[in-house]
Amino acid sequence: MPRVKLFDEEEVLTKAMHLFWKQGYAATSIQDLVSHLGINRASLYDTFGDKEQLFKKSFALYRKQSIEGISQLLNSHSNVRDGFYALFNKAIEEALLDPDRKGCFAVNNTTELVPNNESCLEILSTNRSAFEQLFYEYLKKGQENGQLKEGNDLKSLASLLFTLYNGMLVVSKINRNKKELMETVKLTLRLMD
């Protein structure tokens, strides 16, 4: 008779995501995961596979939640500048309120795992492409609505905004001055004029 799982897989993935995010991949042991997740080792392996598979599944959940959340936030603003301003403002506020100063899970993974882990490089590249595409489509919609000048290089602007977004999450680990961080955002958003 098969055993019934006594845990919610997405809840366990969320806990794993937060542990990997806080400690990093290399510093998180299987025992750390077993203790933090509250499931036994056999259940962990049966449900999620090894540590790397659990990490990749938890990162996939992070990506899904991030893309959905950012897409909703941007699309709740009909004005492109207002949407990006709100996005950066929210990201900086959340970063400054985080007592662990974790920064961005994707950036942390990039600095820890690239170039030594080819499979993670591919996942992180896909993540970058997805976010840049999301930003590009939002910018394009703004251009079509007359909010941005025709002729702007929207692909490059989307890439710049992605870079700034991730950079702000890194810088906010050491610069806790929201006003200074937002001044950089305001300057960058002027490039949309």
Domains and CATH numbers, the chain: 60-192 (1.10.357.10)
Residue 35 exposure: Cα atoms within 13 Å on the Cβ side: 6
Cα distance between residue 71 and residue 187, in whole Å:
23
Cα distance between residue 138 and residue 135, in whole Å:
5
Q: Name the token pair of 115.
A: 């170039």
Q: What is the band of 193 on the pLDDT scale with cuts at 50, 70, 90? A: confident
Is pTM, for the whole model, over 0.85?
Answer: yes
User: How do residues 8-62 score in pLDDT, each as one tens digit?
Assistant: 899 999 999 999 999 999 999 999 999 999 998 998 999 999 999 999 999 999 9
